[in-house]
Amino acid sequence: MTRMSSWEARRLVLRNDLTELQRLAGWIEGWAQRGVSADVSFAIQLCLEEAVANVIMYAGAKDSRLVIAVDVERNGTTLVARIEDNGRHFDPTQVPPPSVATSLEEAKVGDVGIQLIRSFASGMDYERRDGCNRLTLRFTEPQTASQRSG
């Protein structure tokens, strides 16, 4: 079921603490089970978790002044999520893809979070504005056969 006629914009503000990821997950689950397909719900949960974890672990390590705001709104069949933080400048769209390892011995640990966002989100944009990082992610519901023909 992908109808979202009663869908409203939503906003959550998080502190610089990894335990906040639990609150983020609960918040997403609370609304993503209504009117969002299972695949898009999974993609949103994954991408927001990765994006916020990145901010907490790298953009504002140990900085109690760091605040992360997550906004989600619907635009037609597309969900748009914005993650804004006042941490140090970090543009995930400029992070190169991780190298492809062919053996466990050479495999590098880490660096897959942004790769997951690139793959699971339909689009990703970044801007630095007023001293804040603003990451915009888009998630598009796949069209059903009846939607395509109608």
How many residues at the interface with other proteins, by CB under 8 A?
29
Using the rule CB under 8 A, is 131 a contact of other proteins? no
Q: Which stretches does DSSP call E strand in 37-77? A: 67-75
Instruction: Tell me how far apart the alpha carbons of residues 81 and 136 are, in angstroms, rounded to a whole number.
Output: 6
Residue closer to other proteins, measured from CB, 35 or 98: 98
CA 83 to mean position of chain CA atoms: 7
Binders of other proteins among 108-127, rule CB under 8 A? 109-110, 112-113, 115-116, 119-120
Q: How far is CA 12 from CA 19, 21, 23, 109, in A?
A: 14, 11, 9, 31
How is residue 57 annotated by DSSP? I
CB of 42 to other proteins, least distance (A): 4
Using the rule CB under 8 A, is 96 a contact of other proteins? no
Binding residue for other proteins (CB under 8 A) from 1, 62, 96, 100? 100
Q: In 3D, which of 138, 50, 140 has the Cα closest to residue 95?
A: 50
Binding site residues, other proteins, CB under 8 A:
18-19, 21-22, 25, 38-39, 42, 45-46, 49-50, 53, 98, 100-105, 107, 109-110, 112-113, 115-116, 119-120
